[in-house]
Amino acid sequence: MTDTKKSIHGEWSSRFAFILAATGSAVGLGNIWKFPYITGENGGGAFVIVYLLCVLLIGIPIMMAETMLGRRSRQNPINTMITLADEAGADKNWHYLGWMGVTAGFLILSYYSVIAGWASAYVLKAFTGSFFGADAPAIKELFDGFVASPVQLAFWHTLFMLATMLVVVRGVNTGLEKAVRFLMPSLFVLLMLLVAYAMTFDDYYDQGIKFLFTPDFSKLTANGVLTAMGHAFFTLSLGMGAIMIYGSYLPKDVSISRTVFLIAGTDTAVALLAGIAIFPIVFAAGLEPAAGPGLIFQTLPVAFGNMTGGWLFGILFFVMLVFAALSSSISLIEPAVAWLIENKDMTRQQACIWSGSVTWLLGLGTVFSFNVWSEFKIFDRTIFQLLDYLTANLMLPIGGFCIAVFAGWIMKQQHTEHELDMPNPLSYQVWRILICYVSPAAVFLVFLHVVGVL
Burial 360-374 (b: 16+ CB within 10 A, else e): bebbbbbbbbbeebe
Give which of Na ion, ligand PHE, none residue 279 binds (C-beta under 5 to 8 Å, depending on kind): none
Alpha helices in 88-149, H assignment, sequence order:
95-127, 136-147
Q: In this complex, which beta carbon is closest to Na ion, that of residue 26 or of residue 330?
A: 26
Q: Does 23 bind Na ion (CB under 5 A)?
A: no
CB of 135 to ligand PHE, least distance (A): 30
Q: From the CB of residue 108, how many other CB atoms can be counted at a distance below 10 Å?
A: 27
CB 190 within 8 A of CB 272: no
Q: From the CB of residue 220, how many other CB atoms can be counted at a distance below 10 Å?
A: 20
The residue range among 12-20, 138-146, 237-245, 426-434 that interacts with ligand PHE, by the rule CB under 6 A, is 237-245
CB 259 within 8 A of CB 243: no
CB 303 within 8 A of CB 194: yes
The residue range among 21-29, 53-61, 123-131, 187-195 that interacts with ligand PHE, by the rule CB under 6 A, is 21-29
Which of 9, 17, 23, 25 is in the footprint of ligand PHE by CB under 6 A? 25
In this structure, what are the phi and psi dihedrals at residue 378, rounded to the nearest 5 degrees?
-120, 130
Looking at residue 194, its amino acid is L
List the x/- string, 102-141, binding to ligand PHE by CB under 6 A.
------x---------------------------------
Q: In this complex, which beta carbon is closest to Na ion, that of residue 31 or of residue 164?
A: 31
> In angstroms, how far is the first alpha carbon of the chain from the final one?
44
For residue 133, which of 314, 349, 351, 343 has the smallest C-alpha distance? 314
Give which of ligand PHE, Na ion, none residue 70 binds (C-beta under 5 to 8 Å, depending on kind): none
Longest dimension (CA), the chain: 66
Give which of Na ion, ligand PHE, none residue 242 binds (C-beta under 5 to 8 Å, depending on kind): ligand PHE
Which of 31, 39, 173, 359 is in the footprint of Na ion by CB under 5 A? 31
Beta bridge partners of 378: 381
Give which of ligand PHE, Na ion, none residue 73 binds (C-beta under 5 to 8 Å, depending on kind): none
Residue ranges in 328-347 that form contacts with ligand PHE under rule CB under 6 A: 328, 331-332
Which of 234, 279, 339, 447 is in the footprint of ligand PHE by CB under 6 A? 234
Q: In this complex, which beta carbon is closest to ligand PHE, that of residue 203 or of residue 388?
A: 388
Q: In this complex, which beta carbon is closest to ligand PHE, that of residue 245 or of residue 367?
A: 245
Alpha carbons 63 and 58: distance in angstroms, whole number: 8
The residue range among 169-177, 253-261, 325-333, 414-422 that interacts with ligand PHE, by the rule CB under 6 A, is 325-333
Instruction: Determine the size of the site formed for ligand PHE (CB under 6 A).
Output: 15
Alpha carbons 108 and 385: distance in angstroms, whole number: 11
Residue ranges in 189-248 that form contacts with Na ion under rule CB under 5 A: 235
CB of 236 to Na ion, least distance (A): 6
Q: From the CB of residue 60, how many other CB atoms can be counted at a distance below 10 Å?
A: 23
Give which of ligand PHE, Na ion, none residue 328 binds (C-beta under 5 to 8 Å, depending on kind): ligand PHE
Which of 19, 20, 21, 26 is in the footprint of ligand PHE by CB under 6 A? 26
Which of 30, 208, 289, 305 is in the footprint of Na ion by CB under 5 A? 30
CB 296 within 8 A of CB 36: yes
The residue range among 22-30, 68-76, 157-165, 195-203 that interacts with ligand PHE, by the rule CB under 6 A, is 22-30
CB 215 within 8 A of CB 39: no
The residue range among 69-77, 80-88, 173-181, 232-240 that interacts with ligand PHE, by the rule CB under 6 A, is 232-240
The residue range among 20-28, 88-96, 126-134, 363-371 that interacts with Na ion, by the rule CB under 5 A, is 20-28
Distance of alpha carbon 432 from its chain centroid, rounded?
Answer: 25
Which of 9, 20, 23, 30 is in the footprint of ligand PHE by CB under 6 A? 30
Q: In this complex, which beta carbon is closest to Na ion, that of residue 30 or of residue 289?
A: 30
Instruction: Determine the size of the site formed for Na ion (CB under 5 A).
Output: 5
Give me the DSSP letters along 392-450.
Answer: IIIIHHHHHHHHHHIIIIIS-HHHHHHHH--SSHHHHHHHHHIIIIIHHHHHHHHHHHH
Torsion (CA) 271, 272, 278, 282 in degrees, nearest 10: 120
Apex 441 CA angle, 435 and 446, nearest 5: 130
Q: Interface with Na ion by CB under 5 A: which residues?
A: 26, 30-31, 235, 267
Residues that bind ligand PHE (CB under 6 A): 25-26, 28-31, 108, 234-235, 237, 240, 242, 328, 331-332
